[in-house]
Amino acid sequence: MKPTDFSIHLTNFLSRYLPGERGMSQHTISSYRFTFILFISFIEQVKKIGVSKLVLRDITKEIVVEFLDWLQSERRSSSATRNVRLAALHSFFSFMQYKQPDQMEEWQRILAIKVKKTAKNAVSYLSIDGLKLLLEQPDIFSHKGRRDLSMLALMYDCAARVQEIIDAEPSFIRLDKPYTMKIIGKGSKARIVPLMDEAIVHIRKYMDENNLLAPHLRTSPLFFNSRGEKLTRAGVNSILKKYACMARNKNPGLIPEKISCHSLGHSKAMHLLQAGVHLVYIRDFLGHESVQTTEIYARADSQQKREAIEKAYVDVITKEIPEWVENHDLLQWLKAFR
């Protein structure tokens, strides 16, 4: 059976364009791939078009909008998830503008579909005391506990994302001063972040214990499971939530109910901000494209807002004592009041 133009271009988009020209991570490519699995399922189930017969001319703005509505009505997807699926479709049809320009008008109609507004969640982060309590939970007398402590401490110190920690290798760590770690972020972009002495103590012991300083293991996973394989995203999240639950039982006020690996990065950013570090440096530390992304931390820091307001406050109201405060016969005062 002859492949359709849709199947040819989608294969090139996922297997060549995204990893080769865009340099996207496997995690992002997997997300895009799943979007098209859902899209094809929708086309087969709702539009009754078999995937072997699906051609690009079948795909219109109206079909895409119907698919997005189907995600929310039938699959109960949130608006945020809908926007993720739309981003994948936008990327594909942006690619198609150059591959099949004779249908440019339809591609641009699809690209004009707007994302849905979503409620912005408050930044979830730990105070210094909350972070200390969390890092006290791993059992340092067990091999797994020492691994978990090293990983969580490093994730906080570097403000690393889950995938960045999963993809980390021993060669990424510089154990001579100045201590640094190379992080491969979104789009395979590398950045170098400084490491503090406290984090280096844990990571050096962990690497030495697991022989990760040996030349032949320099490109192996920095953190691995019992089979020597990379940890998964679900595995890392499970480790964090386990210790967060333990810490919450000891002091509920210090550990938020909702906590994720992002919370450690948020915590580092907030602590840098509270220490007076400029947003531009925090942006570079986190690997953000724009300082506008980093500004969420400034908006979220109520303590810093309060201190700034207190410094700028000018007392313009005379502090007069109300008459009734000094009147010992309140009833008499009330009767005399007109």
| pLDDT tens digits, one per residue of 171-226 | 999 998 888 889 887 767 788 888 888 888 889 999 999 999 999 999 999 999 98
Tell me the C-alpha distance between 166 and 239, whole Å.
Answer: 13
| Numbered ranges of CATH 1.10.443.10 in the chain | 128-309
CA 43, CA 39: separation in Å to the nearest integer? 6
Answer CATH for 128-309 from 3.40.630.10, 3.30.420.40, 1.10.443.10, 2.130.10.10: 1.10.443.10
Alpha-helix residue ranges (DSSP H) falling in 211-290: 233-250, 261-274, 279-286
Find out whether 259 and 244 touch, Cβ atoms under 8 Å: yes
pLDDT in tens, 112-139: 999 988 766 656 788 889 999 999 999 9
CATH architecture of 5-111: Orthogonal Bundle (1.10)
Rounded to the nearest integer, the mean pLDDT of the chain is 83
Residue 300 confidence (pLDDT): 47
- pLDDT for res 313: 41
Q: Which of 57-66, 226-235, 266-275 has the lowest mean pLDDT?
A: 266-275
- Comma-separated ranges of CATH 1.10.150 domains in the chain: 5-111
Residue (of 87, 39, 45) closest to 67 by Cα position? 39
Per-residue pLDDT tens digits for 214-258: 999 999 999 999 898 999 999 999 999 999 999 999 999 999 888
pLDDT digits (tens, 9 = 90+) for 79-125: 989 999 999 999 999 999 999 999 999 999 999 999 988 766 656 78
Kindly list the strands in the beta sheet with 173-174, ordered across the sheet, starting from the edge strand earlier in the chain: 173-174, 180-184, 190-194
